[in-house]
Structures are given as C-alpha cells and as structure tokens.
Structure 1
Amino acid sequence: MNDVVVVAAQALSVAGAVRMAAVVLSDAERVYVMYGVQDDLRIDGRGCEDYRHMEVETDVVSNTSGSARMKIGHTDILVGIKAEMGMPKLERPNEGFLEFFVDCSANATPKFEGRGGEDLGTDIANTLYRVFDNGSSLDLKTLCITPRQHCWILYVDVLLLECGGNLFDAISIAVKAALHNTRIPKVRVLENDEGSKEIELLDDPYDCIRLNVENVPCIITLSKIGHRHVVDATSQEETCCMASLLVSVTNKGTLTCFRKIGGGSLDPASVFEMMETGKRVGKALHKSLETTLAKEESLGKKRQKVGFLG
C-alpha cells in the first residue's frame, strides 16, 4: 500500500465511528475501498459475501397485531403490523391483502428532510409490493372472512430509525419477522333472520390466526464495486457503488423478482453472477433468520435480543 491509501484507511476508520449526515469520500478513500473489495477484504474486515452482525427483536410494540425491530450496523428499522377488516379487492375476491407505508424519518439522517425521504419511502413501498405480488409468498386466502364482502387487511408500517446502509435488506428482514409475530383474531360469521351477515370476534385472545411465513422472500442487495460485488454494503461502500441489483430470494434459493438501481450499467455476465450470489447468500440468511425467530418465540416474555450472522 502506498502512503495515500494508508491515509485513506485512517480517514475511513474515523469516519466509520461518526454518524455523518452524508457520506462523502475523497478519491483516495474510494481507491482504498475498491482495492479492498478486489482482495475480498472490506474496510470492516468482512469478505464480499458476509453480512454484518444483526439483531432481531419481535413483539416490541404493544398496540399492534405484530411487530419487529431489526438492527444491522448503524441501520435500525421498526415494523408494526395492524390487522383491520375491510373489503377484498375486486380482482381477488377470496383473499385479503397487504398495504405498505414506509416513513423515512428525518431523524434517521438529514438527507431525508423534505421530499428526499418521501420519495425513498415510496420507492421502498413499491418494491415491497412487487416482492409480495405473487400467490406463493403468503397464503392470502387465510385472510378472507367472507368472499367479496369481508377480509383482513394487513397495514405494514415501516419506520427508519437510523440509516447506515443496506436499507432494502434490513426492511425485508424486519417485515418477515413482524409477519411471523402477527396474530390475527379468529371471527365467527353469523347470519340473522333477514339474511344479512354479522361478524363476531371470538373472546379468546390466544385463539388466533398465525401466518405461515416460510415462503416469504428476503431482499438481497448486490452492490457492484469495481469488478466485484458485495452484499450488505455500508454507507461508505454505497458511495463507491456503480450500480446495485436487488434480488428477492426465498428460503429455498428461488428468485421471485429482481430490479437494478443506481446510475451505472451492469453487463449480462455480472447480472448472472450477482443473481447466483444472491441465491446462495439468501438461503443462508433465511436459515439463520428462521432459527432466530424460533428462539425468540420460545423465550416468550423472557426473551432478549438474539443476534445472528455475527
């Protein structure tokens, strides 16, 4: 390493310890990041396919049907889900549905002030709609009460508490954890003498519907830096990224959708390689997450934050 790269390394170590409003890297710092990625040694010591340590905690918001909090590096996500009765969509009369709202709080980073956070929140919500817009992720028929008349609508509220890179992955993991934690009351449909139907909630709070989240995919973001790509990019690495590929991967490694973000271009060979990496990394991520969620539930009220992929 030459003196310029050594100075860049020292600057990055200082920058990583401070929450910055916007990450701005010098040319020397960019060179240091790119050289490290080429050698499979990133600025925090990880390899190209390694995630940072994650923490997941469920059932953290009392007035919701399900909730979860997800931390990875300096990224902190809170998800709350509320189940409310509504009318099924005309095109899917036998199913309930999900509604997503993403709040990019200006407290997370000043760059979310004004329309910056609003535009990003809309973009993330639209991506989540794409991920869940298939019949295999969730069995939405279990949310139907009476066809064409009543169903459960799951309002998924995502709050960005702190932004430290890799938002899409963190949000998708938090959403899956919150869905796993969701409990929907069982109801009884009563028909009176006039032929109209009434909905009655069952009294037992423990007699509820649980969602099967086994096939719910997670988003894996592959960020192209130089001639290689990395997963779970930090804010500094995102600054050096030419373009990224978001892939939605199930626990069996099946790709359900993907999209490219960023201003740079990706050649077909790179896209294929990134998709294969996404499948491989996604399977390992799901396995660790499922183990963590099972442990969280078994601990009950005594549970504590459980880290995984540390």
Structure 2
Amino acid sequence: MATSTAPSALSFPPATFAKISPAPYLLAHLSPTSSSASPTRPSGRSPQECRSPSVNTGSLTHANGSAVVRLGDSAVVCGVRAEVLRTSDIPHPYRGPDDSRREIEELGLLVPNIELSTGCSPGFLPGNAPGTLAQSLTQRLLSLLHLSKLVDVEDLKVKYQPPETEDDIPDAPPELQTKAYWVLYIDLLVISLDGNPFDAAWGAVLAALSDTKLPKAWWDADREAVLCSDQLSDAKALTLGNIPASLTFAVFTTAAPQKRPEDAKNWVLADPDGFEEELCNESITIVATETSILRIEKRGGGVVGREGMRELVAHTQSRLGNWKQALNQQQR
C-alpha cells in the first residue's frame, strides 16, 4: 500500500520575500524571534552601522578637481571647474563687511548642480523630466557650502598691486585691488542610487574640493586681462576650512493606524539604503563638525525626541573620522 508524503512547506528566497512583503521582511531582521540574536538589517549591518565610504580623486582629467565616491551601491561623480569672473563684469560688487561666507554667497562664487542619471535607480527612466529630488539636493548642497564656510574667499581672489606713483603718500603704497574672482562650478552626477543620496553627494563635494587646484593667476595691467600660468607646479590647492560630516537616519516603526503610539516599536537606522528608505516615514539629517552642529533637518514623524537627537549628533561626529580617513588616503 502506497504511503502519502506530506506536502513541502511553501518557501520563497529572501529577494522574493522582500518584494512581496517588504515591511515584514525588514521587521523579521530587526526583531528576531530568538532572544540571543541581535537586530540586524537585510544588508547585514546593525541599526547604527554605516556603510564605509570609498573615495577616488582625480578621476576627470579636464577638471580642476574631481572625485568618485561610493556609499555601498550609491555612487556619485563630482567635477569642479573654475572660471574667471572679472570684478568689472559684476553688476553689484560686494561692499559689505569682511565676511568670507557673505561675499561668496552674494557673488555666487560656488555653483553646485546635481543630476540623477538615467538608470541610476528604477525610478529614473529614459525620457522623464527632471524631478524635484535633484533640485532639492542642489539647493541643500548650496546652502551647506555657504553655511560651513568650507571655501575661503581669499583663495578665489585674483589681486593686483598697482605700482607706486609720485602722487602716492610716502610710506603708504597703493592698496591691493581685487581684479577678479574664481567661480567654482561643482557638477555632480549620481550614477547609482541605493539610498541616502545627500550624504554621498556631500562626500563627493568634499573629496572633489580637496582635490581642486587653481592655476596661478595675475592681472595684466597692459592688456587689462587676467592671465594664468600653464605650469601645473604653479597651481595652488584650496585651503578648506573645518570639514563637516553629514549623516542621515531613517526611522522604521511598527505602528499601525488602529494601534496606540505607545505600543509601537521603533528602530533608528543610520545611513539607510534604498529598500529601507521606502519603508520609513521619518528621516533626520545631521551635519556637524567635531565641536559644533551646523544643521539638523527632520522630515516626517515624531519618534526621535530631544534625548534621541543628542545620541544621533554624537554618532554623526564620530562618523567624521571615517570621512577624514577616506579623504586623507587620497591625499598621500
């Protein structure tokens, strides 16, 4: 007599499970059934673990500075191109106080622009009009460049010392004149997007500016023009200020509309990838140096309070060491 066998249990590979039920899939990793198991994410990282940045500078031969930065599967190319702007061509020359940030901002000497390339993620298809994400990222980068005072305006000035004349006061030579400025066009291209585009873009800006060298330039009074040396040995690197780190967090919660908020469980995920971003309704981006907080951006939700924010700030400041290490390895 033939014996019947029990049907095998229906099972799916992890990738299929993640597409069919993404929220339960993430929850199964963050809240394992075994009490001895630690919360992990589908990528294998712990909730507070960030992806290690990978930096490669000098990637573009026709730019004054360039870099390729990777955060996991997110990759951004950044190129810095310098152009001369004569003060005589500025409609409203800067006449304010001696403030590097205000002078750069009012004259528009830093011009970032970011593009999300076709195919960088499933959401960017050929033929689609530019979305709001690229515009938002560009504006955030521009605001942070001004706020951080990363670039010193003195590095961007082309000065001229007029010769002394008989009409000059003795022992008082003519003052230095600013005849032109360098305008830095900072172009970024996201070639692969797997979450957290702002941190990757800001890291690419830092790496490209640290690689930027400006030609030796001077004002020729006879020609009334700015001349530049074609010798690479005469080029001068930018003197960057205190480098800030940016770190984005996303909050995953199990709260349902019919449940009480106090019954919900929440996890704060550092440096979220694309899969995690789609499942989180609250995000926080913190930009900080070793000694100060430059910016806190919070969107959606209300899980992270004041105490939680202090922990995230400390985590962001500790993240600064990873970026500095990656940048220093390229400068050796």
So what's the TM-score if we normalise by structure 1?
Answer: 0.78
Deviation at 1:244, TM superposition (A): 0.6
Q: Counterpart of 1:303?
A: none
Letter of the structure 2 residue corresponding to residue 220 of structure 1? L
User: Which of the numbers 238, 258, 270 marks the counterpart of 2:296?
Assistant: 258
Letter of the structure 1 residue corresponding to residue 282 of structure 2? A
**Percent of aligned positions that are identical:** 21
Q: Counterpart of 1:108?
A: 120
Deviation at 1:30, TM superposition (A): 4.4
Which structure is larger by alpha-carbon Rg, 1 or 2? 2
Q: Counterpart of 1:293?
A: 327
Structure 2 CA distance for aligned equivalents of residues 151 and 24 of structure 1: 56
After the TM superposition, which residues 1-310 of structure 1 pair with which residues of structure 2 at under 5 Å, given as runs? 10-12=13-15, 25-32=21-28, 34-35=30-31, 40-87=39-86, 90=92, 92=94, 95=104, 97-113=109-125, 117-134=130-147, 136-146=149-159, 149-192=179-222, 197-226=224-253, 227-250=266-289, 252-261=290-299, 264-266=300-302, 270-273=304-307, 275-298=309-332
Q: Which has the larger displacement, 201-210 or 275-284? A: 275-284
User: How many equivalent residue pairs?
Assistant: 276
Structure 1 CA distance for aligned equivalents of residues 312 and 229 of structure 2: 43
Deviation at 1:294, TM superposition (A): 2.2
Change (3 A) 1:272 1:253: farther
- Residue 134 of structure 1 aligns to a residue whose secondary structure is helix
Letter of the structure 1 residue corresponding to residue 294 of structure 2? T
Structure 2 CA distance for aligned equivalents of residues 86 and 54 of structure 1: 35
- Residue 278 of structure 2 aligns to a residue whose secondary structure is helix
Gaps of 5+ in 1: 1-5, 16-22, 299-310
| Contact 1:79-1:158 at 8 Å conserved across structures | yes
Letter of the structure 2 residue corresponding to residue 297 of structure 1? Q
Structure 1 CA distance for aligned equivalents of residues 62 and 232 of structure 2: 14
Structure 2 CA distance for aligned equivalents of residues 135 and 77 of structure 1: 21
Deviation at 1:234, TM superposition (A): 1.4
User: Which protein is richer in helix relative to its size?
Assistant: 1
Letter of the structure 1 residue corresponding to residue 139 of structure 2? N
Change (3 A) 1:51 1:206: same
Deviations 1:62-112 (A, max 9, x none): 000001001122111111111111256747465472101111111212312
Letter of the structure 2 residue corresponding to residue 184 of structure 1? L
Deviation at 1:129, TM superposition (A): 1.2
